[in-house]
Amino acid sequence: MGVDRLTDEPAAWAFTAPAHRYLMPPQTFTWKADCRHFDGGLPCRYWRPCTGCPEYAPAGRRYLLIMLGLHGDMLIASPLPPRIKRDHPDAHITWLCDEAHVPLMEMNPAVDRALAFSWETVRQLEREHFHAIYSFERTPSAASLMETVSCDERAGLAYGGPASGLYAVGTAAEHFFKMNTWNDFRAITNRRTWTELYFEVAGYTYDDEPYELDVPAAAREPVRAFAQQWAGRRTVGFNLGSSLTTKMWPMSNWIDLGERLVAQDASVWLFAGPKEHAMAEEIHARLATRSPSQVHYRPWSLTEFCAAFEFCDVVVTGDTFGYHLALLHGTPAVVLFGPSHDAEVVPKGPRALTILTSPAPCSPCAHQVACGGAGGCMEMIPAHDVLLAVANHLAVLGR
C-alpha cells in the first residue's frame, strides 16, 4: 500500500492505488463545506478527503450569472467572470445555461460551476444564497429566478412584478432591457457591444478584455493533426452555419467563393454544426471535383470545433459562433452582416477584421424580419467582395 500524506499525521490516512480508495481513521474524518470544490456530500472533482487536502480553496462571495443563450453569447459574456474575480479573487461563480452550453462554460477557468437549466437546478438554486445575481436572460422561466433566489444584490432582466412581465432591475440594465424589447433601438440607436452591456449591468466598465475559453489539449490535438495534412498552404475557413437562417450566406455564394480560392491554390476548410452538415457535404462534393486535396471537411465535437479556428489563416463567417471563435484565437476574419447590427458584436479595439454589410435598404433590421423571414439580404454580399477581403488579409500575413 502506497502512502500519500496530506497532513503531518503520519498515519492519518492513506491512498490505496489499486482500489482508488482512501482509508482514514473515523476520528480524523471532517469535511469543509466552504470549499469551492465541495458539492454537498458528493465527492468533489479531486476525489480527496478534506483533511489536509492541498486543493482546499474557501469560497467567498457567491455570484449567479443567468444566461441560457447561444454558443456565441457564451463567448461574448466570457470576460465577465474573470473581471469579477479580479476584484474578488475568492469569488465563487455559478453560470446557469442551457445544457448544450455547459461544455463551453466548463472551459471558462473563472466559472466554478456550470449548471444546466432544469426544474431540478431551479429548485436547488432556490435553496442557495448569493451575494449577487446578474440575469441576462429574457426567457420568463429563467428571468423569474431574479425574484425567487435569495441574494444581497440583483441586476439585469427579471420577470414577474405587478405587470407580470419582463422588466429591468437597476439603472444600468435599462439600456440592456431596450435591446431585448425594442428592435429599432438595436438597429438605429445602439452603439454598444453586448459585452459592454453585460459589464455595465454587473457594475463594471468593459476594458477590451479578451474572451475566456481554455480548449483542452485532448480536443485541440486531433484538430491540429487534421490541419497538418495541408500544412504550408494558405488556409481559408468557411464557417457555414448560424442560429438563424436569415443570417446565413447562401450555399451558391460559398461555392462561388470556394471555386475562386481553389483556383488560386488555397485550401478551403469547411466548418458546420449538425444542422448544416448536409450543406457542408454538398459544398465539399462540389468543390472537391476541382481539387480534392484543397477542400476539407469533417464534423467535430463542440470542444474540437472551438479549437479549429486557430489553425486557419483567415476565416469567412457570418455573425455567429465561428466569428467569436476567430476573435478568441486572434484569427483574421471577414464577417458578413445582413439582418444583425455589427455595432453589437464588433470590438472597439483593433482587430484583424473586415466587416462586409448587406446593401439591402432594410439592413440591419435587428431581426425584425420585415421580409417576413424570407431573408435575402445576405445573398446580396457578392463573393467577389469577400475574395478581395480575404486576399487583403493573406497579403498582410505574407501568405
Beta strands, E only, 140-280: 150-160, 165-169, 235-239, 267-271
Q: Give pLDDT, residue 18.
A: 44
Q: What is the pLDDT of residue 19?
A: 45
> Do 62-201 and 217-397 share a fold?
yes
Sorted by sequence, the CB contacts under 8 Å of residue 258 that are 6+ apart come out as 238, 268, 283, 286, 287, 295
- 62-201 placed in CATH 3.30.70: no
Residue 295 cell numbers, joined = 477542400
Are the C-beta atoms of 318 and 239 separated by less than 8 Å? yes
Q: What is the mean pLDDT of each run of 10 residues along the chain (399 residues)?
A: 36 42 60 73 70 74 93 96 94 95 95 95 94 95 94 96 91 91 85 96 96 96 95 95 91 97 96 95 94 94 96 97 96 96 90 95 81 82 97 93
DSSP state of 168: E
In this structure, what is the dihedral angle of CA atoms 161, 163, 169, 175, given to the nearest 10 degrees?
Answer: 170
As given in the structure block, the three cell numbers for residue 335 are 464577417
Residues 64 and 97: their CA atoms lie apart, in Å, by 11
> In the 8-state DSSP scheme, what is residue 369?
-
CA pair distance 212, 197, nearest whole angstrom: 17
Any idea which residue has 431551479 for its cell? Answer: 122
Spatial contact of 14 and 28, defined as CB atoms under 8 Å apart: no
By the 8 A CB rule, do 21 and 48 touch? Answer: no
Q: Specify the amino acid at residue 218.
A: A
User: Does residue 364 have a cis peptide bond before it, meaning omega lies within 30 degrees of 0?
Assistant: yes
Alpha-carbon dihedral 326, 331, 333, 339, rounded to 10 degrees: 20
Instruction: Measure the CA–CA gap between 248 and 379, rounded to whole angstroms.
Output: 8
Max CA separation in the chain (angstroms): 77
The burial class, CB within 10 Å (0-12 / 13-18 / 19+), for 349 is: exposed
Sign of CA dihedral 383, 232, 303, 74: negative
Supply the pTM of this predicted model.
Answer: 0.86
- Residue 119 is which amino acid? W
Domain boundaries, the chain: 62-201, 217-397
| DSSP one-letter string for 294-320 | GEEE----HHHHHHHGGG-SEEEEESS
State the pLDDT at residue 28.
61
- Measured CA to CA, the distance from residue 317 to residue 186 in angstroms comes to 21
- Smallest CA-to-CA distance from 183 within 335, 340, 66 is with 340
Going by DSSP bridges, is the β-strand pair 113-116/92-97 parallel, antiparallel, or unpaired?
Answer: parallel
Contact 279, 292 (CB under 8 A): no
* Residue 97 per-residue DSSP state: E
CB 378 within 8 A of CB 250: yes
pLDDT at 290: 82
Beta-strand relationship, 113-116 and 129-135: unpaired
Strand partners, 23: 14
Question: Which has the closest alpha carbon to 216: 290, 302, 110?
Answer: 302
Selected from 3.30.70.1230, 3.30.10.20, 3.40.50.2000, 3.30.465.10, the CATH number assigned to the domain covering 217-397 reads 3.40.50.2000
**Burial bucket for residue 13 (CB in 10 Å: 0-12, 13-18, 19+):** buried
Apex CA 37: angle with CA 34 and CA 40, to 5°? Answer: 65
